[in-house]
Amino acid sequence: MKLTFRCRDVGVVCRAAISAETEEELVAKIAEHAAEAHGVTELSETLVDYAKTKVRSDDSKR
């Protein structure tokens, strides 16, 4: 199952859509994107937990 996270879903003005097969891989990719594109060098547990609430699976409707 493919998981997708979009920055815009957490209120960030960004068109990025990040996808991965596992939650762990997705969180790592989100952290990498946040550092490179948004200057966020560390994601707190609170931010990670919030981001996880916005993740969509390939079988969910948008």
Summarize pLDDT for 4-55 with one digit per residue, the tens: 999 999 999 999 999 999 999 999 999 999 999 999 999 999 999 999 999 9
Question: What is d(CA 43, CA 7) in angstroms, rounded to the nearest whole number?
Answer: 14
pLDDT band of residue 1 (cuts 50, 70, 90) is confident
Q: Which two tokens stand for residue 8?
A: 């815009």
What's the pLDDT score for residue 60? 57
Question: What is d(CA 11, CA 36) in angstroms, rounded to the nearest whole number?
Answer: 18
Burial per residue of 18-36, b for 16 or more beta-carbon CB atoms within 10 angstroms, e otherwise: bebeeeeebbebbbebbee
Contact 38, 12 (CB under 8 A): yes
Q: Say which residue, 6 or 62, is predicted with more confidence.
A: 6
